[in-house]
Amino acid sequence: MASEGLAARMAAVGLLGAVLGEGRLMAQVLADPQGPLAGLPPGDRARAQRLALAVLRHVEPADQVLAPHLRKSPPRLVRDAMRLAVVEIALGGAAHGAVNAAVEIVRRGKRTAPFAGLVNAVLRKVPADPFAGLPPQRMPRWLRQPLVHAYGRDGVTAMEAVQAMTPPLDLTLRAGAEAPEGAVLPTGTLRLEEKGQVSALPGYAAGGWWVQDAAAALAVGLLAPQAGERVLDLCAAPGGKTLQLAAAGAAVTAVDLSEPRMARLRENLSRCGLAADLITADALEWQPDQAFDAVLLDAPCSATGTIRRHPDLPFVKDGSELPALVELQARLLDRALGMVRPGGRVVFCTCSLLPDEGEGQLAAALARHPGLRVERVALPGVDEAWWTAEGGLRLRPDLWADRGGMDGFFMVRLGL
């Protein structure tokens, strides 16, 4: 008899194979119509995704639990099925269900079936609290090293502890909007612990809120758009910040290179009853007719600040894209500075933990543009300690750790 939840667990193991075995990003695998979730009902899809993400947050400790019981490494699918069972047990799932499912998944494959006995024997030895005393999963070396240099060993361990947690769901609210029940953070973001389906939450259809991490929501606060101002959102899609700018009453032009991402921005604007001028173009080439009062540049980056939401990233990326990204960010920032009127302002931000994509970009921009000033503005709920000596905001996953943390970001406002 197929055990309950088997289809979702098999799909989760399929997702793990795609990420850990084939080096594909989770977002790509989820969007693949032939991918491991093909044909699954929505509930199973969501469960499979949740389980795979949970395993990706704990691969290292799960392997530490399994290692003493394995003389040699079993085939990938067998290992992933065992990792899944260990993580389920660690997160409080019923051990018998998790173990039976892993055995069944392994039994179904011709090549893996001979390992069913081993899987059963090993998983029956897993204690009720398998991760007790184990450190959280570490970030890969290419990333950890510069982070230890920037934030110290304890700082990085604190970030890793938050990255091991399931992140809360953060919503940016419009004034007076109907919203689900949650905790309002000091910066105004509404935080929900229990997620479920986003589109089923109160107020979704009315469009009074949208999903956006608490840290990401601060960039628009820093820009402080005024009603009627002409604001350019450069690298805008899928548009969490575009919506904020439009909701503030600014006349927004949103530019992004990616048509599929722009389609999502269009949908988001339509659901929320907001408007912006959308332009699909390369920001390195596109030229506006007239300068803007303000520009928000949310530049493409390593996204290392979002690992708690995208735990696949450390297994897929190796840091080799970094030099090209750093160069692109600098070119985009120079473009942004050229599109704002004298006396205007630019906010530069990246969802990266790496100083090369944040503090380093600020230092380099100040050196390239001698007239540029860093502007600090009062932001409700923002701790004084989050500002850097140079006037940027350094946001880290371990800030508000007891409330569920926040994405890593660097942001700075520049005045011309």
* Contacts with ligand SAM, residue ranges (CB under 6 A): 235-241, 255-258, 261, 282-284, 298, 300
Task: Name which of 137 and 304 has its Cβ closer to ligand SAM.
Answer: 304
CB of 10 to ligand SAM, least distance (A): 33
CB of 281 to ligand SAM, least distance (A): 7
DSSP 3-state helix, strand, coil percentages of the chain (rounded to 5)?
A: 45, 15, 40
According to the annotation, is 282 in a ligand binding site? yes
According to the annotation, is 237 in a ligand binding site? yes
Task: Name which of 259 and 384 has its Cβ closer to ligand SAM.
Answer: 259
CB of 364 to ligand SAM, least distance (A): 18
Task: Name which of 99 and 245 has its Cβ closer to ligand SAM.
Answer: 245
**DSSP run (H or E) holding 222:** helix 218-223
Integer Cα distance of 85 and 91 in angstroms: 10
According to the annotation, is 146 in a ligand binding site? no
220: nearest Cα among 233, 205, 235: 233
Catalytic residues: 351
229: nearest Cα among 265, 253, 195: 253
According to the annotation, is 301 in a ligand binding site? no
CB of 286 to ligand SAM, least distance (A): 8
Q: Which two tokens stand for residue 249?
A: 């009453």
Q: Which two tokens stand for residue 216?
A: 């990401």
CB of 5 to ligand SAM, least distance (A): 33
- Amino acid residing at 91: L
Task: Name which of 39 and 338 has its Cβ closer to ligand SAM.
Answer: 338
DSSP 147: H
Task: Name which of 3 and 258 has its Cβ closer to ligand SAM.
Answer: 258
According to the annotation, is 239 in a ligand binding site? yes
Q: How far apart are the first and last CA of the chain?
A: 69
Report the 10 Å Cβ neighbour count for 156. 23
377: nearest Cα among 189, 186, 218: 218
Q: How many Cα atoms occupy the beta-carbon half-sphere of 116 within 13 Å?
A: 13
SS3 355: helix
Q: Which two tokens stand for residue 210?
A: 């949208």
Query: Could you give the maximum distance between any two Cα atoms of the chain, in Å?
Result: 72
According to the annotation, is 241 in a ligand binding site? yes
Residue ranges of the annotated binding site are 235-241, 256, 282, 298
Give binding residues for S-adenosyl-L-methionine as ranges.
Answer: 235-241, 256, 282, 298
